[in-house]
Every structure is written in C-alpha cells, then in structure tokens.
Amino acid sequence: MINVLNRADLRELAVVGRGLEILDWTLYDSLVIATGGTQTSFKYFQQAVGPSGVTLQTTNMEIPGQLPAGYKFVPQRIVFTPKQALTLTAADVKDIVAVSHRGSAQLFIGNRPYLQVDLQDLIGGCLIGFAGAFDAATSLAYAAPRARLDGTLEYSPVIPANFSFSMVVTYDAAPTLVKNTTLVAKLVGKMIRPQQG
C-alpha cells in the first residue's frame, strides 16, 4: 500500500517516532541521450553507485530501483536538468530543447503512475536569449523563457523501502541531436531513515 501525504501530514513528520531521522534530500540519476540513437524511452533510478564504475556524479542511488530497508522517501518536487558544455553553441541549445521540451514524464511507484506530465513542465531554471554570435551567416538559436511550472507536487506519495520506483521519460520519436546530451532526473523531498547507532 502506498501512503499519500498532504502538506499538514508533512509538517507532522518531525514526530515520526524514535529511532528515525528526517532529512531534506534529493535523489538523482543521470542518463545520456545519444546522438544518432533510436531509443524513445528512458527509465531513471535503475542504477546504483559502485557497479560498472557508476559514481556519485551520475546517481546517488544505493540500490537500483528501490530504497534500502528501513528507508522511506517523500518526493515533493520533481526536476529534470539537461547538462551540456559550459559554453553553449546554437547546436547545443537545440539539443537541450530537443531533450527537455518534447516528450512526457511519469513517476512510477510499483507499477502505477503517480504523475503524468509534459517533460518541459519539470525543467528547472530558464533558457532565454541567443546562442552563438549575432550574425546572419551564423546558425542562431533563440530559447524562450519558460512559464511558472516547476514540478511541485501538491500531494506527496511515500516511496517505501524495498518497493520499486522510477521516472520514465518517453518521446514520440528519438531526439535528433548533434552531441550526446545528459538529462538528470531529481526527486526533491524528505528522506526518512533509521538513526545511526
């Protein structure tokens, strides 16, 4: 059974019980969307730190697809962040828009979705302005600012220990990219875990 908390319930988490600690926490996972790729669906939180050289830069999951025994996580906000070079070219901006402003995103706990939304509604930050030199002979890209939407959940489903969860991003067609582009999924909320000692 999945519990769903409202804002009043979240305020009461401070008195969850002896032996537990409650932390502001972000679970994150990164996947590469490859240039020339044909993949249209990407499933996040299915890798863990350690195996195959996966580091904390890629994910902070301890177990693929679930939380350790005794842990619970309450997602309050979902954010996707595209990563690219520090100096953006027009092609880089087009790649970022191709992976972040198309497609849909779903939060699954077990086999049931708890959120279904356009992916662009979950992109944090803002793309605005021109990339590349302002020159008629140069390929230019203009990225318009986003409106309000920020991935905040009005309710808060509780992800229990040893129960599968994932974020799934799906595109109607594989993004056409000039460079490989990393898209990071972040679940921002409260981690409830046993105290040490």
Q: What is the pLDDT of residue 23?
A: 87
Are 101 and 78 within 8 A, CB to CB? no
More confident site: 119 or 195: 119
Q: How many CA atoms lie within 13 A of 165 on its CB side?
A: 26
Q: Would you say 65 and 45 are in contact if contact means Cβ atoms under 8 Å apart?
A: yes
Average pLDDT over residues 59-84: 93
- The confidence score (pLDDT) of residue 186 equals 96
Of 4-13, 40-49, 85-94, 186-195, which has the strongest mean pLDDT?
40-49
State which of 2-6, 92-96, 111-115 shows the largest mean pLDDT.
111-115
What is the value of pTM for the model shown?
0.83
Q: What is the pLDDT of residue 54?
A: 94
Mind spelling out the 3-state secondary structure of the chain? CCCEECHHHHHHHHHCCCCEEEEEEEEEEEEEECCCCCCCEEEECCCCCCHHHCCCCCECCCECCEECCCCEEEEEEEEEEEECCCCCCHHHHHHHHHHHCCCEEEEEECCEEEEEEEHHHHECCCCCEEECCCCCCCCCEEECCCCCCCCECCCEECEEECCCEEEEEECCCCCCCCCCEEEEEEEEEEEEEECCC
Does position 126 have pLDDT exceeding 70, yes or no?
A: no
Average pLDDT, the chain: 84
